[in-house]
Amino acid sequence: MKKTFIVLCLIVAFALLAFDVQAEEELNVQLEDQNLHTQKQTNSFYDKYLKDKLQIGLRESYQTLTDSDSGAKGGGQGDGTFLGTIYALDEIQSYVPNFYVNYFFTKYWGVELAYDSIEGETLATSTGYSTIKSDGDVSLAGPTLSIVGRYPNQTRFTPYASIGLGYYFGDFDEEAHWALGYPDPSVYEAAGSPSTHYYDKTRVMDVDDPLGFVIAAGCAYRLTDSLSLDLSLSYTNVTAEATFYGYQYGVLYTEQDGSFPLDNVAVRAGITFSF
């Protein structure tokens, strides 16, 4: 009787073990099927929406202002200067690359979202002084959105062109002597470059946020299936409207309007990653 009981227990144990093994195998098969289905869905999404469509990249630009001199050197407000005695701009190069994203809806057409910036040092004269000074740096920076057309072919070279708009945020980084009301940098330096105001004068420059027009043409050279070198030439048409406010003893004594033409041609070089 005892032996029979032991045999029955062993039979039940083996049966349970076999059931567990079978259940585990069935679960593994289900998980594999599920993973395969998920992988197929992922691959399908990638192939349908990302592959050969999405690109990201970094781009360096060397910019040249096309309208940097008003031709009114030595003049004042109303004499043809950009604003007040500011008669010219000198472009400031930024060596920090800008980010951009391309997405192509078809083989030939897509859109580009990019970040763009331009900065210029102001050149001005001082009434009663012969020196050329800078009152500060005017800059514009912001996003651009463009329509892109490309021509893919059997070679490693893919030419393209784009046209779009940019929304720029304006800023003016003033020189200390100008902001503190000194008539000339020499007067400020002779006083020991103080942090105090000249006869309690304060100068402020307010730069508007303009829209700009951007066109470009270039060519991408494919290094690998994912990486490409990019070389292009762009033209940006944008003007920064500005207002100068002069205060003394906290009272506004002058207000002058003007504009800074920051139209520029840029030679651009970058690297692009394609999904």
Query: In tens digits, what is the pLDDT along the chain, a chain of 275 residues?
Result: 544 544 444 444 444 444 444 545 555 555 555 554 555 555 788 888 999 899 999 999 999 999 999 999 999 888 999 999 999 999 999 999 999 999 999 999 999 999 999 999 999 998 888 889 999 999 999 999 999 999 999 999 999 999 999 999 999 999 999 999 999 999 999 999 999 999 999 999 999 999 999 999 999 999 999 999 999 999 999 999 999 999 999 999 999 999 999 999 999 999 999 99
Q: Which of 97, 103, 92, 100 is closest to 136 using CA atoms?
A: 92
- Using one digit for the tens of pLDDT, what is the confidence trace for 126-163? 888 888 999 999 999 999 999 999 999 999 999 999 99
Q: What tokens were used for 73? A: 């050197």
Distance CA 172, CA 242 (A): 9
The residues that bridge with 147 in the sheet, in sequence order, are 111, 163
Helix (H, G, I), strand (E, B) or coil at 47: helix
The residues that bridge with 221 in the sheet, in sequence order, are 157, 229
Instruction: Please report, in angstroms and rounded to a whole number, the separation of the first and last CA atoms in the chain.
Output: 73
- DSSP 8-state code for residue 129: -
Contact 177, 188 (CB under 8 A): yes
Distance CA 146, CA 144 (A): 7
User: How many Cβ atoms sit within 10 Å of the Cβ of residue 255?
Assistant: 9
Q: Which position has the token pair 């066109």?
A: 215
Taking only Cα atoms into account, the Rg of the chain, rounded to an integer number of angstroms, comes to 33
Distance CA 2, CA 25 (A): 35
